[in-house]
Amino acid sequence: MHLVDHGFIRAVYNNFHDLGGGMYRLSQPSPAQIRAYQERFGIKTIVNLRGDHGYGSYAMEAEACQELGITLVDHKLYSRQAPNLPTLEATKALFDSIEYPALIHCKSGADRAGLGSVLYKHFRMGVPIAEAQRELSWRFGHFRMGKTAILDYFFERYLADNAKEPIGFMDWARTRYVKKALHQDFHQLRKENGIGDWILDKVLHRE
């Protein structure tokens, strides 16, 4: 957990932020951090956006949740591809069904946690996408460079279409959004950013 999965960094800074409505975003929590957050905020659910993975941090998180009576939900999102419609619908249903207060996390609390936070604020709290998109920010460790910029482009495409002809986000996702086409457009517009990819992959070790 500390060496291979870089938990020693998160022990110093957990990228913890209050989203409102009983939801908090953060990086991968350690068992000690889970206990501390439950004691402080009464956490009842943890949404793990990394999915079931082979690092020790997952096994220790699952064990801590079982001991503390916290529901652990594995709901995998991706940092280098836009979400598809089934994922958006499942995410909306998830936020409507889990018990709060809750934590939502990925590895670093930056990219996938940012995506999940945008969707949470929009789906659960009714915040417009233009405002909710601020959860994808350098303030939380998300940078508009490299392949993770696809997350920003995804929401920007919705906002551009909505500006031309007003449409709800999920209506747009169901009727106008084509993931493959969006990815093709993104890669055509995006200049090769070897430095950005190197920083994200080799320096920050983002998943």
What is the dihedral sign for C-alpha 151, 157, 158, 160?
positive
117 lies in a domain?
yes
Helix, strand, or coil (residue 103)? strand
Cβ atoms of 71 and 45 closer than 8 Å: yes
Cβ atoms of 140 and 110 closer than 8 Å: yes
30 lies in a domain?
yes
How many structural domains is the chain composed of? Answer: 1
Return d(Cα 207, Cα 205) in angstroms, integer: 6
Range of the domain at 137: 7-203
48 lies in a domain?
yes
Count other Cβ atoms within 10 Å, centred on residue 29.
Answer: 25
15 lies in a domain?
yes
Closest listed residue to residue 178, CA positions, set 200, 199, 161: 161
Side-chain half-sphere CA neighbours of 200 within 13 A: 21
Helix, strand, or coil (residue 47)? strand
Q: Write out the chain's pLDDT in tens, 207 residues.
A: 545 554 545 556 689 999 999 999 999 999 999 999 999 999 999 999 998 877 778 999 999 999 999 999 999 999 999 999 999 999 999 999 999 999 999 999 999 999 999 999 999 999 999 999 999 998 998 988 778 999 999 999 999 999 999 999 999 999 999 999 999 999 888 755 554 554 555 444 455
Angle at 190 between CA 181 and CA 167, to 5 degrees: 45
134 lies in a domain?
yes
Q: Whose structure tokens read 């956006």?
A: 49
167 lies in a domain?
yes
- Predicted confidence at residue 198, as pLDDT, reads 43
1 lies in a domain?
no
Return d(Cα 82, Cα 63) in angstroms, integer: 31
- Predicted confidence at residue 191, as pLDDT, reads 59
Provide the CATH number for the domain around residue 146: 3.90.190.10
CA distances from 102 to 20, 110, 116, 155 (A): 10, 17, 13, 24
Cα distance from N-terminal residue to C-terminal residue, the chain: 15
CA distances from 70 to 17, 168, 171, 177, 198 (A): 19, 34, 34, 36, 37
Beta pairing, strands 17-20 & 23-26: antiparallel
176 lies in a domain?
yes
